[in-house]
Amino acid sequence: MIRLTLLLSMAASTLAVPFAHAAPGDEQGQVRKEMRAGNVLPLREIEGRVLPSMPGMQYLGPEYDPAAMAYRLKFIKDGRVFFVDVDAKSGQIRSRH
């Protein structure tokens, strides 16, 4: 079951509309810098706000887009991947798709 979920999430991520990215490996350093400067909320706080609003969904993990200053949280349910884009500064949900 875990293999199927992993396979489905990998397949869906390659088909999904790309989320803007910085250079590979750069996102984590950028978000830490922004967090220290007080420009973005910690990921755990964002997750604490969003995860309860996604009942029945399996959380796959986050991505951070430094250009948009947004987190994208990925979920899966019944083989379908869902994305929740969240403003990293305010914690407000920008979109669910």
Tokens at residue 10, please? 């990998």
Cα-based distances in Å from 37 to 5, 11, 46, 48, 68: 37, 36, 17, 21, 16
| pLDDT tens-digit profile, the chain (97 residues) | 555 444 445 544 444 444 454 455 677 788 888 889 999 999 999 999 999 999 999 999 999 999 999 999 999 999 999 999 999 999 999 999 9
Count how many domains the chain has.
1
pLDDT for 16: 45
The domain of 22 spans 2-96
Other CB atoms within a 10 A radius of the CB of residue 86 amount to 23
